[in-house]
Amino acid sequence: MELKVTTLAGKAAGSVNVDDAVFALEPRADILQRMVRYQLSKRQAGTHKVKNRSEIRGTTKKALRQKGSGSARKGNMKAPQMRGGGRAFGPHVRSHAHDLPKKVRTLALKHALSAKAKDGALIVVDAATAKEAKTKALKGQLGKLGLNSALIVGGAALDENFTRAARNIPLIDVLPVQGINVYDILRRDTLVLTKDAVEALEARLK
């Protein structure tokens, strides 16, 4: 599969041949959904917590006598049905993460890349660099390329000026190639890869 290479200025910079086994698969929504669910569950804090009846401070004295009051039977005031009592079956601190086989995670990344390539939302640039860390200048360049919502993936080391310039642009994310993931690919309209990123991804996913 051949992809055209462009510069950030919008000029043609040749082409690059990519592996069909990485960029030309038929995307499967079920695999992408499993991977996104895996990522979001793994990063969920899970710090929600309520107090049950054993953690409520209060007397354990029986509120009313068992019979003769004309009211319902009551034990101590920490019971869940009482005002100020403990919560029954409430959330507790736990991890929401679940397992997903490594082969499925690798396949999901291939499918995410292939989905962008199939939709025509994959752009390859020769390099993601900037002479100065100027947000206005970079925003103008990205605007000419039609990038309003994009994930830009560079090589193993990112250009500091480019990263700082892109930091304040809404809906523009910049990641090194080792940080690429399915969720960030799918949450932006366009995926922008540098030539170094393409080579690294092919070496990693073959």
133 and 184: one domain? yes
Q: Is 134 left (phi over 0), alpha (psi -120 to 50) or beta?
A: beta
154 and 188: one domain? yes
Q: Read off the CATH number of the domain in which 105 is found.
A: 3.40.1370.10
68 and 158: one domain? no
Domain hosting 82: range is 50-90
User: For the whole model, what pTM was predicted?
Assistant: 0.84
24 and 113: one domain? yes
pLDDT at 187: 96
138 and 194: one domain? yes
Residue 156 lies in a domain: yes
pLDDT at 186: 97
Segments in 15-132 forming alpha helices (H):
20-23, 29-43, 102-118
Tokens standing for residue 60? 């354990």
145 and 127: one domain? yes
**Which residue among 90, 118, 151 closes a domain?**
90
Backbone angles phi, psi at 33, to 5 degrees: -65, -40
pLDDT at 25: 95
Residue 63 lies in a domain: yes
pLDDT at 58: 87
- The answer to whether the beta carbons of residues 84 and 56 sit under 8 Å apart is yes
Q: Which pLDDT tens digit goes with each residue over 103-147?
A: 999 999 999 999 999 999 999 999 999 999 999 999 999 998 899
- The answer to whether the beta carbons of residues 124 and 5 sit under 8 Å apart is yes
Residue 170 lies in a domain: yes
Residue 18 lies in a domain: yes
35 and 126: one domain? yes
pLDDT at 10: 83
d(CA 118, CA 111): 10
178 and 86: one domain? no
Residue ranges of the chain with per-residue pLDDT less than 70: none
Residue 45 lies in a domain: no
139 and 59: one domain? no
180 and 127: one domain? yes
76 and 150: one domain? no
Q: Work out how many domains the chain is built from and give that number.
A: 2
- In sequence order, the 6+-apart residues with CB closer than 8 A to the CB of 131 are 161
pLDDT at 12: 85
Closest to 154 (Cα-Cα) out of 187, 114, 126: 126
DSSP state letters, 14-43:
EEEE--HHHHSS---HHHHHHHHHHHHHHH
